[in-house]
Amino acid sequence: MKFLVSTHVQEFRSVLGDDTSHVCFCQHHSGLSSQINGRDVIDVWICEGGEVTEALMDQWLDRNWNSPKTLLVNDAKFIPNLENLSKGRVAEIQAISKEEQRASSWVISTLRKGEMLYARACARGPVQHNGVTLDHDTKKTVLIVGAGIMNLVTAEFLAIRGFQVRIVDAGPDPRTCKDWTLLGATHAGGNARMFSYTEADNYNERGSDIYHNMRHIFRKTTLNGGWSVKSPLSFSAAEEAWVNAFEQVPIWLAQAMKEDIYYVNREAGKLWTEYMDRAPQLFEGVSLHTDILRLYAEETALAAAYELSRDLGVVVQDLSQAELLKENTGFSAAARFNDLAGGLIVQGFTLGIHSFVNKLIDRILELGGEFSWNCPVQRIRHNASGEVTSLESQLGALQADNFVISTGVARNGLLDGTASENLLQGVLGVWLKIPNLDPMLRNSTKIHRRGYLVEDINVTVSKDVKTGEDILILGGGYGYVGLDWPSLESPELQALFKELEEVALTYFPAGYQRAKERGTLWLDGERKFCIRPFTCTGLGIFEDIPTATGGHLIITGGNNTGGFAQAPAIARAVCRAMVGEHDPIHVLFNPHRSKLVDQKARDFRFVSSL
């Protein structure tokens, strides 16, 4: 995505400072032609208005003519003329109002507005059907690829709205599978997930008091204080491109994207509440616990987190270190080692995800849905107009009125040729389990320790499904795996397990000792991890491609640390797309927003001493 600025150039330059990789400037309008015909295609042009001639407009629109372009105009009186020159080829032409320009942050808000117009145009583009429309009165079939949390919630939402759903998954039935390495992020790892209003987040917001020095975090291994379990020297071209794009997200855009991610978290929060009212049986017997205790090792991060949670309106109680210790004497070791500055209780909940999805599968079956396991889908088939005709799978061609694909980390080329290609890569986290001993932890807890190897840890209050014992399930850590499956023996991965053990020892010494003595620290005796699908922006993916019969093929996923948390918001966005209704997620998670760098135009080899 590239901006051209040919108005208020000095002001844009001074506000952006060094953060200009997505913006080119043209102070003297005689240079416009060479800017427009330069290496990068201009997607958003912020202009005065009068400098845009017919020839310049044609040159600009001829470059990548089928990708949407948007114009922001400083002087509104030029808009009628620009509309004439564009002959309907510019997706959006809008003025920057004089009131907007009076605000001190108008440069940033103008860039954000331009980027959002571009995202809106991208989201609108692909859903034009070639005149064929589906009859909305008859029962429609939806073929759903991937049976992780994202698609299971979507399948249930669709089924209760009258769609006939069939779910196919490359892996085995998770309810009976004994080999966790065959399972996706949802079914592998610990039987625990959390909803909080910051569960999905943006991790490359520079200047954050909660996450520090994030820019090159994926180029450093966990042993060197980074978030990768893979040496940067072994990155494939696709991985190099993903990490490069992460590093290139400008500060102003990362901040905008963070707000978008939190918006989706908030919408999901409302939908989870509605879901619990609509289908209470799904939430019974799944270790549901409400309100989350957030603990911070550091004062600065605690203060920033308090401010953030207060702005989001989710603080239930603020707790000093003394109050925490009074409530739970078990935290005294953490306080002694300077690992406990204080905490707060915020709105949210946790549950046993494996128990929950087992119930969800049964419910989808009751609603008439079907499942096919061990059936990898290999390719999306198109006709000459680019419309989807079927999916290619081991069972042969799969056909339906609509399709939804949410396959976690995209490894097998299924998304090749879509806008989502190469956007979904893996960042793993690790798990362990200890008994919840006296003094028992009452609230599921989130521990943040800035700069540690395992930076964020979710501690879920639960019951062991087999023995009924009160337990705590600890899950966390970040290990970029790109498109690979990591070796369990790798020192980088082992370091994450070791550090998670240290967290258990520091905050829950009694439970940790008991688990060590009994040899029950690891889940089913194994060091288990699971791999979250991540995008380089932290935004999820929502791509809508027309089918030849007037239906939709929708690709979702990549919701980073909040795939469970955001699932109902994504499910609603899918349902709305199927019936032609708008949902903000169609724009906010449009994959073009995460395609920040023109991958073909760049040399990704990165020479670094990091």
Please report, as ranges, the residues that interact with ligand FAD according to CB under 6 A.
145-151, 168-171, 184-186, 189, 193-194, 199, 376-377, 406-408, 412, 414, 428-429, 431, 458, 475-476, 530, 532-533, 557, 559, 561-565
Nearer to ligand FAD, 244 or 590 (CB): 590
Residue type present at position 38: G
What does the CA dihedral 237, 240, 244, 245 come to, rounded to 10 degrees?
60
- For residues 533 and 408, the answer to whether their CB atoms sit within 8 Å is yes
DSSP three-state, residue 396? strand
Nearer to ligand FAD, 147 or 245 (CB): 147
Pairing relationship of beta strands 342-351 and 193-196 according to DSSP bridges? antiparallel
- Nearest approach, Cβ of residue 543 and ligand FAD (Å): 14
- Nearest approach, Cβ of residue 499 and ligand FAD (Å): 13
Instruction: Centre a 10 Å sphere on the Cβ of residue 30 and count the other Cβ atoms it contains.
Output: 9
In angstroms, the Cα distances linking 191 to 358, 366, 465 are 11, 24, 9
Nearer to ligand FAD, 78 or 478 (CB): 478
Residue type present at position 388: V
- Nearest approach, Cβ of residue 375 and ligand FAD (Å): 6
What sign does the dihedral 504-505-510-516 (CA atoms) show?
Answer: positive
DSSP three-state, residue 449? coil
Question: Distance between CA 199 and CA 301 in Å, rounded?
Answer: 16
Nearer to ligand FAD, 91 or 496 (CB): 496
Tokens of 22: 């997505």
| DSSP bridge pairs for 553 | 403, 545
Nearer to ligand FAD, 148 or 342 (CB): 148
- Nearest approach, Cβ of residue 565 and ligand FAD (Å): 4
| Residue with the CB atom nearest ligand FAD in the bound state | 563
In angstroms, the Cα distances linking 541 to 265, 423, 536, 579, 592 are 14, 8, 11, 19, 9
- Nearest approach, Cβ of residue 195 and ligand FAD (Å): 6
Pairing relationship of beta strands 289-296 and 370-372 according to DSSP bridges? unpaired
In angstroms, the Cα distances linking 190 to 27, 41, 61, 432 are 56, 45, 51, 7
Nearer to ligand FAD, 47 or 377 (CB): 377
Nearer to ligand FAD, 202 or 559 (CB): 559
Nearer to ligand FAD, 171 or 343 (CB): 171
Given the structure tokens 């399930």, which residue do they identify?
A: 473
